[in-house]
Amino acid sequence: MGAASRQGDTLYGGGSAEIYAPALPLASQLVLTEIQRDFIGDACFPAIDPVQFTCLQREDVTASIPYHLARYQRIAPVSGEQD
């Protein structure tokens, strides 16, 4: 994984679109910085499926480049988990 850090049972990762897409089915939570501007050549996180995840918290941050800090929780079981 591009850059990853394990703390307890939590794995934090970052990288590029090639990292995000295969890791998304394994995630039970997402903590994202949602930048409110487009950049040429930037890597984009895959679209978040509202059937799979719900937004629990979103904080608007006013800065030279506005962004949101958002926390999502998986609604459906993580791939490979059983109820």
Q: How does DSSP assign 26-72, residue by residue?
A: G-SEEEEEEESS--TT---PPPPPTTTEEEEEEEEE-SSS-EEEEEE
Query: 40 is in which domain, residue-wise?
Result: 3-74
Q: Residue 60 is part of a domain; what is its CATH number?
A: 3.40.430.10
- Is residue 11 predicted with pLDDT exceeding 60? yes
This prediction's pTM = 0.74
- Is residue 7 predicted with pLDDT exceeding 80? no
Asked if residue 23 is part of any domain, the answer here is yes
pLDDT digits (tens, 9 = 90+) for 39-65: 887 677 888 889 999 999 999 999 999
Q: Identify which has the larger pLDDT, 27 or 69.
A: 69
Q: What is the pLDDT of residue 1?
A: 44
Q: Identify which has the larger pLDDT, 27 or 42.
A: 27
Domains contained in the chain, number: 1
Report the residue count for the chain: 83
